[in-house]
Structure 1
Amino acid sequence: MLTAAFAIALYLIATALLWRRPPRSNRFIALALTWVALLLHGGALTRLMLTPQGVDLSFFSTAVLVSAMVVLLFLLAALDKPVDKLGLLVLPLAAVTLLLRLVFAVEVHVLKDLSFAMQIHILVSILAFSLLNVAALQALLLTCQDVQLHRKRAGWFVRSLPPLETMEAFLFQMIGAGFVLLSLSLLSGWLFVEDLFAQHLVHKTVLSIFSWLTFGVLLWGRWRFGWRGRTAVRWTLWGFAALLLAYFGSKLALELILHRT
């Protein structure tokens, strides 16, 4: 699809601009290209997911949707926060998900006759995952920054990052918002999912609850004991790993390995 191909190209160009030590004008160009890429991404997503039979929520289509949400969150954060280098992780990820959806011809998995409540549940779940995805990527940047600073080998890339306190503040903002939405997602799931076992959702629910507990303990530890640094990074990555397995591990097993919906 030509729209997706242009989006991929613009994401990669914007990544290259952000990788350099750009002046303010280059930063503006990179973010402007990313906005255009996101619009193209959205156009491609609409064509890929909206089928005559219903909304396609197969593995790769869902990944494309999540990556679009992550890019949008990055761009909104970039309006008033120094998160430019986060784009070095976010933008290639979006390009890869689009490319995989174009390359791999997988069976479409359509959810038909979704109630309004279920649509809200799915939307909240995707938003929660996207916010915590951004938090996990931010945690990876924090890891790189922390390791290099402790080794006293801070190159230009680490020096271009904001101070650790600023990086951690943004991390916990994403975790806090994601935790609230994940709580709403779990609550709405219990209210609206009719048959947990028949819908193959047991493992997804268990892993999501584990992730929710992990992020909850992390936020409590931050409030009670001032957890930060490597402790915060470890808990963030553990929580997101569980959520990743819940959202995409189950879809991968069911759709691509077991060929079940």
Structure 2
Amino acid sequence: MQALALAVMASLFYLAAASWQGLTLVRRVAPQPMLVRGLSLLGLLCHLPLVVSLFGHDAQVLPGLYTSMILISAMAVAVLLGVSLFKPVLGAAVGVLPMAGLALLLAATVPAPPPAEALSPGVALHAISSLLGFAVLAIAAVQAILLGLQNRALRHHHIRGIVQALPPLTSMERLLFELIWAGMALLTLAILSGFVFLDNMFAQHLAHKTILSLAAWVIFAILLFSHHRLGWRGMRAVRWTLGGCAVLVAAYFGSLFVLEVLLNRG
């Protein structure tokens, strides 16, 4: 019950922050980055006790559905807040924060994972880099959606609303590829550490996740290479980013949902 109450409070703060940012993007209210950060931080402070509870009894940190939803949503909000201090990424709050709140609410309604043996440092590195990489690329996905909306508006000569609220198109695009590079570095670390520290990355319960993660890595690698050598940008970059992120969602959550919810396996 306490976990659900904290999840509800965090979600309300996240929703309030996202709503203000959304109204800012459509030019209904003045930009208030400190307000958006403050509400998001309050949500994160309600969120963190749920994160801490995962480590309270030597709980297994290797991502299950419950732990993944709580940890990834917290990491995504924390990364967004941190990066927003240096880069104009706060517009992504309109998508990241509601998704974090929804994930937290869903996770709070399922039973907590049973206690398990603590992970070795190598496996913990794999788990943390996986979760953090997913969080960064989730922000990149929202950034891609905003970039796509901005690009479409400019093509139709709509220069009001979201076009005025967002940074210039070139800045938005540069930020998108910076997020993808960071996410790719973390995803690469996750894949390499998995092959080094896990017994068998192609075991029956890990094979689909491994194959889909490798497929997502290939998609992002092609996008980065083609952007650098062939000048890919605009809507093509948006589509490839969203495609890679969709494959990652299937890798991280699709198999876990089938195993832990549909088949009821821990």
Same fold (TM over 0.5): yes
Aligned to 2:89: 83
Pick which of 148-157 and 126-135 moved more. 148-157
Counterpart Cα distance in 1 of 2:130 and 2:165:
33
* CA displacement at 1:71 relative to structure 2: 0.8
Residue from 151, 154, 163 that aligns with 1:149: 154
Report matched runs for 1:231-250 at 5 Å.
231-250=236-255
1:77-112 CA-partner distances (Å, limit 9, x unpaired): 21122222211101111111121122x334625552
Matches within 5 A, 1:38-57: 38-47=44-53, 49-52=54-57, 54-55=59-60, 57=63
Q: Counterpart of 2:60 in 1: which secondary structure?
A: strand
Residue in 1 aligned with 2:180? 175
- Structure 1 window deviating more from structure 2 (148-157 vs 26-35): it is 148-157
How far does residue 198 in structure 1 lie from its aligned partner after superposition? Answer: 4.0
State the 1:196 CA deviation.
3.5
Decide which moves more: 182-191 or 143-152.
Answer: 143-152
CA distance in 2, matches of 1:106, 1:146: 43
Task: Give 2:229's aligned residue.
Answer: 224
In the alignment, structure 1 residue 131 sits paired with structure 2 residue 136? yes
Match of 1:158 in 2: 163
Task: For residues 98-139 of structure 1, give each alpha carbon's deviation from its aligned partner in whole angstroms, at most 9, with x where no partner exists.
Answer: 21122x334625552321110111111111111111111111
- 2:40, 2:104 → 1: CA distance? 14
Give the whole-Å Cα distance in 1 for the aligned partners of 2:131 and 2:162.
31
Pairwise CA distance, 1:214: 0.9
Aligned ranges for residues 56-75 of structure 1 at < 5 Å? Answer: 57-75=63-81
With 211-220 and 58-67 compared, the bigger mean Cα shift is at: 58-67
Which amino acid is the alignment partner of residue 9 of structure 1? L
CA contact (8 A) 2:138 2:245 kept: yes
Q: Name the SS for the 1:96 alignment partner.
A: helix
Partners of 1:160 and 1:42 in 2: how far apart? 31
Per the TM alignment, residue 53 of structure 1 is displaced from its structure 2 partner at its CA by 5.9
Which residue identity lines up with residue 29 of structure 1 in the other structure? L
Could you tell me whether the CA contact under 8 Å between 1:4 and 1:40 is conserved in 2? yes
Q: Does residue 203 of the first structure (1) align with residue 208 of the second (2)?
A: yes
Going from structure 1 to structure 2, the CA distance change for 1:145 and 1:192 (only over 3 Å counts) comes to same
Amino acid at match of 2:15: L
Deviation, 1:59, is 1.1
Secondary structure (helix, strand or coil) at the match of 1:140 reads helix
Select which of 34, 37, 44 maps to 2:43: 37
| Structure 2 unmatched runs, 5+ | none
Instruction: Say if 1:260 and 1:154 are closer, same or farther in 2 by CA, change over 3 A.
Output: farther
User: What is the RMSD of the two structures over their aligned residues, measured on CA atoms?
Assistant: 1.9
Aligned match of 1:15 = 18
Which SS does the other structure have where 1:52 is aligned?
Answer: coil
Segments of structure 1 that go 5 or more residues without pairing to the other structure are none
Residue by residue over 1:5-26, the C-alpha shift from the partner in whole angstroms, topping out at 9 and shown as x without a partner, is 22122112212222233435x3
Residue 20 of structure 1 aligns to a residue whose secondary structure is: helix
Structure 1 stretches of 4+ moved >6 Å: none
Q: TM-score, normalised by structure 2?
A: 0.89
Is contact 1:117–1:192 with CA below 8 Å preserved after alignment?
yes
Per the alignment, residue 195 of structure 2 pairs with 190
- The alignment covers a number of residue pairs equal to 258
Matches of 1:195 and 1:220, distance apart in 2 = 30
Which residue identity does 2:9 align to in structure 1? F
Q: Which moved more, 1:8-17 or 1:172-181?
A: 8-17
Letter in 2 for 1:84: L
